[in-house]
Structure formats: structure tokens, C-alpha cells
Amino acid sequence: MIVGLTGGIGSGKTTVAKLFSGLGIPIYIADIEAKKLMNTSNIIKQELIALFGEKAYINKQLNKTLLSEKIFNNSEFLKKVNAIVHPEVTKHFNKWVVKQKAPYLIKEAAILFENGSYKRYDTIITVTAPIDIRIARVIARDNSSKKNVMSIINNQWSDEKKIKHSQFVITNTSLPDTKLQVKHIHNKLLKN
């Protein structure tokens, strides 16, 4: 069984993923793998250079500053980058799945719904938190501005919309409570 784990920026997806990992469940974190692939996949490199020019890479490493500037201010660029990166991440994920031995696997990804990939999962878990907490978390974590965080939030589905398509919801406002919710969902998934 393949479980999708999603939630808006700052909701605590990575924290929840670590809790499931602590229960012995293999976790594939799409953002981390996408960042690796953006530096190692020749297909992605060629397409990003075609889109943004030679400055897309500096010393063979992705120019994150240029990419951030381009996609945060232009939803069309964001769609184009996603169309380049997501198919390669999907291929990488499918190879990873074959190597796993567990009752279920989790793929953590911020935009499962926005790109339509949620249809490929057996079960979806959405992580939520109040928007003010999410903004504060991201500002503290990334040293980002509220404006940049809101730009990302506005490009993602609302929690309400995600919840309608989810089998499980974790409200991540207190770690002890989140741990209990994870354990409860884990036990239910083991029975499937």
C-alpha cells in the first residue's frame, strides 16, 4: 500500500514523516529527492537550462536564488518547473518502491493534489495547522518573509479542499498530540 502524506507549507509534514519512520515505515520525501535530482539528472538540467538559460546552474549546482526569484513571482514558471521535475521524481520514486519491504510506504509531497498525483495513492494523509503557526514555522525555518510564505500558500490548495480528498487528517499543533494521531493512523493502516 502506498500512502500519500501531504499538507501546506509549514504544516509539519516532515515532522509527521519522521514519526512514521520511527515506527519502521519507509518514507520518500519528494522535495528532498527533487532537489537532489535537480542537481544530478541530466534530463532536468537540460530542460531547466532551456527554460532559464545557462545561469540556471552555477558550478554545476542549481542556482536556487534564480529559480526562487523566477517561480515565486510567476505561476507559469512554477508550472513549467513542476512539469520538468515531477515526472523524473515519479520515475525515481517508482524505482524506490520496488526496493522496499514494509506493510505500507509513505511518499511525502507538498503538492499531491495540485498536480493530480493524489489519484495514484491508496490512502492520503493531510497534515494541517493554523495558518499563523504555519507562517511562523516557515519564517523561523527558512528565514523567509511573510510575503514569500503567503505566495507559496496561495499556490497550494487550501486545507479544506485537501481534507475533502483525504482519508486521514493530522492536526499538527502539539508534538505529543501529533504522535498519538500518527500511532492511531499507523495501527489502522496495518489492519488494511
Please write down the long-range contacts of 58-66, taking CB distance under 8 Å and 24 or more positions apart: 62/35, 62/38
Cβ-proximal residues to 32 (8 Å cutoff; 6+ apart), any chain: none
Whether the domain at 1-26+100-192 and the domain at 31-95 fall into the same CATH topology: yes
Q: Which CATH superfamily is domain 1-26+100-192 in?
A: P-loop containing nucleotide triphosphate hydrolases (3.40.50.300)
| CATH 3.30.420.40, applies to 31-95 | no
Helix orientation angle between 13-22 and 175-191, rounded to the nearest 10 degrees: 60
- Domain ranges for the chain: 1-26+100-192, 31-95
Q: How many residues does the chain have?
A: 192
pLDDT in tens, the chain (192 residues): 999 999 999 999 999 999 999 999 999 999 899 999 999 999 999 999 999 999 999 998 999 888 888 887 777 888 899 899 989 999 999 999 999 999 999 999 988 888 788 888 999 999 999 999 999 999 999 888 898 888 888 878 899 999 999 999 999 999 999 999 999 999 999 997
